[in-house]
């Protein structure tokens, strides 16, 4: 049997979980059985990494952007069709909203036998056109992959796809890299954080979904109770100016650090005392899986896939979405009680096998084989 040709399409290779998931899959597909390609915007922090992948054709699309722009979107659609005609895929696997809609339409027009779409969370909120477009695109989709059970059940309940055509495949990480426990002293020295100071860390894009302004409020609530504590908010994005203003207003200059994006997340977690996540919604929060793999207790808002990662009271704590006061209480308990902190840390790394990067890739390979065989026999859909 000849190798299956798989084209992944994602809107933009920025730093984020869906993007890391996609890039890791493309990189690790078994080249004895699969020929891989990637279509994406011609900009993004992870694009240089994509360009360096061996045995991978990368299609950089100048009109594929996240914003809704009808003229540019029409051009992006034509660019996706051209990429498909050039690569001749057996499988098109789409990610994210824009590439998900345009990519599946392009695959349908080009008569690709198998079309897969991954769900990394639902953020359409007020954009009511998005669910309608998703329901339409579902008719052109052979199978759906959800990174969390919650996303799968919510999508089926909303009528975005048929339940029987969806399965959960976790977003996988390199667990060994986060279990290494190295680099924390260097990070603290670089950022001017005392070696013995309690350190609260959050790694998240500065965009409304992640609600990073809640982290500033959290720091403000805890700063008086723990005068030697420092707070590290790693990331960047459209809310940076707002966060800097809130930091000044809270009198946290020098204690709340905003170093921008960092690629040494294992070292950051080695420096951490506790990690948090303040998101309004999530798919599968890789940042929390990474923290737990590093043996760091977590406290997070219980949204979507977060509840499938954090076992409340066992490896961390959960609070209701938006409950910053409750989150501050949980983080404060972890900082105050060394026995509690050690107990949570000891349980942090348990049960993470389903989040291993290799497991994710092998499960996707199995899905491609299954769907391609069914398509060849004319039995899917």
The model's pLDDT over 97-115, given as tens digits with 9 standing for 90+, comes to 899 999 999 999 999 999 9
- Residue 121's nearest CA partner among 92, 145, 101 is 145
Please check the confidence at residue 128 and state whether its pLDDT lies above 60: no
Average of per-residue pLDDT across 111-133: 78
Q: What is the pLDDT of residues 171-188, one digit of tens each?
A: 999 999 999 889 999 999
Q: Distance (Å, rounded) from C-alpha 151 to C-alpha 155?
A: 6
Please check the confidence at residue 125 and state whether its pLDDT lies above 50: no
Whole-number pLDDT of residue 58: 98
Whole-number pLDDT of residue 133: 86
Average pLDDT across the chain, whole number: 94
Name the pLDDT band for 96 (thresholds 50, 70, 90): confident
Please check the confidence at residue 1 and state whether its pLDDT lies above 80: no
Please check the confidence at residue 31 and state whether its pLDDT lies above 80: yes
Q: Distance (Å, rounded) from C-alpha 210 to C-alpha 214?
A: 9
Whole-number pLDDT of residue 225: 97
Query: Quick one: what percent of the chain has pLDDT higher than 70?
Result: 97
Higher-confidence residue of 2 and 191: namely 191
Please check the confidence at residue 381 and state whether its pLDDT lies above 60: no
Name the pLDDT band for 71 (thresholds 50, 70, 90): very high
Whole-number pLDDT of residue 122: 73
- Residue 191's nearest CA partner among 256, 98, 115 is 256
Q: Distance (Å, rounded) from C-alpha 335 to C-alpha 337?
A: 6
What are the residue ranges of CATH 3.40.50.2000 in the chain?
4-172+356-377, 175-355
- Residue 76's nearest CA partner among 97, 93, 55 is 97
Interior angle at CA 184, CA 181 and CA 188, nearest 5? 170
Whole-number pLDDT of residue 17: 84
Average of per-residue pLDDT across 197-212: 96
Whole-number pLDDT of residue 129: 62
Helix (H, G, I), strand (E, B) or coil at 38: strand
147: Cα separation from own chain's centroid: 9
Whole-number pLDDT of residue 302: 96
What predicted TM-score, i.e. pTM, was given to this entire model?
Answer: 0.89
Residue 155's φ and ψ, nearest 5 degrees, are: -65, -40
Give the fold, CATH level 3, of 175-355: Rossmann fold (3.40.50)
Residue 85's φ and ψ, nearest 5 degrees, are: -65, -35
Average of per-residue pLDDT across 233-237: 95
Whole-number pLDDT of residue 2: 86
Whole-number pLDDT of residue 318: 98
Give the fold, CATH level 3, of 4-172+356-377: Rossmann fold (3.40.50)
Query: Quick one: what percent of the chain has pLDDT higher than 90?
Result: 86
Name the pLDDT band for 126 (thresholds 50, 70, 90): very low
Annotate 261-276 with DSSP letters as a single string: --S-HHHHHHH-SEEE
Whole-number pLDDT of residue 181: 87
**Cβ(331)–Cβ(299) below 8 Å:** yes
Higher-confidence residue of 252 and 130: namely 252
């Amino acid at each position: 049997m000849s190798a299956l040709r798989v084209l992944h399409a994602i809107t933009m290779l920025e730093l984020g979980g869906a993007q890391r998931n996609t890039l890791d899959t493309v990189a690790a597909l078994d080249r004895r059985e699969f020929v891989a390609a990637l279509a994406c915007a011609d900009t993004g922090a992870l694009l240089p990494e994509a360009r360096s992948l061996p045995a991978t054709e990368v299609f950089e699309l100048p009109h594929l952007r996240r914003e809704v722009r009808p003229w540019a979107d029409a051009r992006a659609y034509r660019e996706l069709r051209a990429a498909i005609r050039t690569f001749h895929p057996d499988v098109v696997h789409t990610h994210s909203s824009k590439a998900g809609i345009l990519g599946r339409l392009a695959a349908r027009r080009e008569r690709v036998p198998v079309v897969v779409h991954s769900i990394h969370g639902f953020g359409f909120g007020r954009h009511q056109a998005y669910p309608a477009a998703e329901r339409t695109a579902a008719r052109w989709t052979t199978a759906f992959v959800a990174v969390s059970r919650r996303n799968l059940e919510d999508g089926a309940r909303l009528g975005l796809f048929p339940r029987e055509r969806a399965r959960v495949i976790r977003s996988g990480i390199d667990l060994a890299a986060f279990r290494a426990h190295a680099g924390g002293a260097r990070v603290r020295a670089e950022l001017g954080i005392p070696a013995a100071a309690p350190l609260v860390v959050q790694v998240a894009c500065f965009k409304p979904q992640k609600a990073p302004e809640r982290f500033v409020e959290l720091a403000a609530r805890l700063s008086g109770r723990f005068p030697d504590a420092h707070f590290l908010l790693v990331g960047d994005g459209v809310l940076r100016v707002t966060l800097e203003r809130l930091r000044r207003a809270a009198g946290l200059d020098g204690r709340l650090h905003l170093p921008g994006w960092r690629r040494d997340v294992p070292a950051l977690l080695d420096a951490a005392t506790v990690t948090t996540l303040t998101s309004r919604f999530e798919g599968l929060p890789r940042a929390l899986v990474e923290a737990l793999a590093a043996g760091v207790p977590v406290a997070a808002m219980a949204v979507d896939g977060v509840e499938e990662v954090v076992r409340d009271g066992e490896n961390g704590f959960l609070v209701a979405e938006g409950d910053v006061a409750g989150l501050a209480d949980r983080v404060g308990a972890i900082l105050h009680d060394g026995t509690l902190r050690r107990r949570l840390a000891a349980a942090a790394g348990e049960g993470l096998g389903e989040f291993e990067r290799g497991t994710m890739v092998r499960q996707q390979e199995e899905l491609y084989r299954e769907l391609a065989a069914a398509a060849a026999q004319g039995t899917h859909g």
